[in-house]
Amino acid sequence: MPIEAGGVARRSELLRQGLTVNEIDQARRHGELQRVRWGWYSLPGADPAVIRAVKAGTVLSCVSSLKRHDVWTRDSQHLHTRQTEYRQRHKRVRYRNDIKVCMAAERESRPCAGPVDSIRDALLTMLECRPGWELTAAMDSLLNRNRTTHSELWDLLGHRGGKAVKALSQMDERRESGSETRFQLALESEQISYQMQVRLLGYRVDTLIGRRLIVELDGWSAHGTRKAFENDRERDRRLAAAGFHVIRLTHQQTMEQLEAAMVDIRTLIRRREHLRRVPL
């Protein structure tokens, strides 16, 4: 059965891919296709999130679509969608139960051809929905994995106003996680100079402030194993013995408690702890 994008497709798409009306009806009778709503069908075992979006008269978009495309996004308690082109001409709905219907950048977003927005359209919707740093983090993720270029992103968003231009100007393909993006943009907002992805004693550290203040950003996926735990403590010990001051921030601390961490970092900087010479 020629269905992709989460196992859900429009009837018109099935016809375009070569199925006949009789074949679609027969597949429904045999349980090979299930009707999600008028004009939309799913395979058994289709992605429940995609089905929920389509049942609500929307398509998966914004951070929910980007996550499905394996792009970094911040976790959200809502399923993010946007309305189909028919519903965009009628009354807007912002929330349906646990579904957030995002306000798409209407002049740029395309009709919803499938149940899951492309990366392009998801970024346009994200621009209207999420904070600028999250947009920068998503673009950093794409750049880091060589899935787009700076020029392509500027062509897409560069004419969309100040928020988009600021997010674009802060992109850096060296960042490997949203935690790095969020923390380093916080440093930039306070005009704190730093270096990223620096090699010290054979280790690559996430962020170096001044000569000796190291800030490591620990996501659970990369640091949650026993081996990673042991390796991290060994490198911290060796770096401390060499004269560096190491701080570790978890993903949760970076996302939800960043200001508290910044208070401590500003305190160390005021004491000029970051400027002491390291006797390498």
Looking only at the bridges linking them, the beta strands covering 99-101 and 95-96 are antiparallel
How confident is the prediction for the chain on average, in pLDDT?
89
Q: What are 235's two structure tokens?
A: 């490198």
150-186 tens-digit pLDDT: 999 999 999 999 999 999 999 999 999 999 999 999 9
Quick one: which H or E segment has residue 43? Answer: none
Among 112-121, 154-163, 217-226, 253-262, the minimum mean pLDDT is found in: 217-226
Whole-number Cα distances in Å, 143 to 11, 17, 57, 101, 152:
35, 33, 32, 27, 10
Confidence of residue 83 (pLDDT cuts 50, 70, 90): confident
Pick the CATH number of 178-275 from 3.40.960.10, 3.30.530.20, 3.20.10.10, 3.40.50.2000: 3.40.960.10
pLDDT on residue 120: 94
**Can you spell out the DSSP letters for 235-249?**
HHHHHHHTT-EEEEE
How much is the pTM?
0.88
pLDDT on residue 90: 45
Amino acid at position 143, single letter? L
pLDDT on residue 89: 47
pLDDT on residue 96: 65
Amino acid at position 239, single letter? L
Strand partners for 199: 204
- C-beta atoms surrounding 256 within 10 Å: 10
Looking only at the bridges linking them, the beta strands covering 79-83 and 99-101 are parallel
Q: How far separated are the first and last CA of the chain, in Å rounded?
A: 63
Domain ranges of the chain: 8-46, 54-169, 178-275
Among 99-103, 149-153, 225-229, the minimum mean pLDDT is found in: 225-229
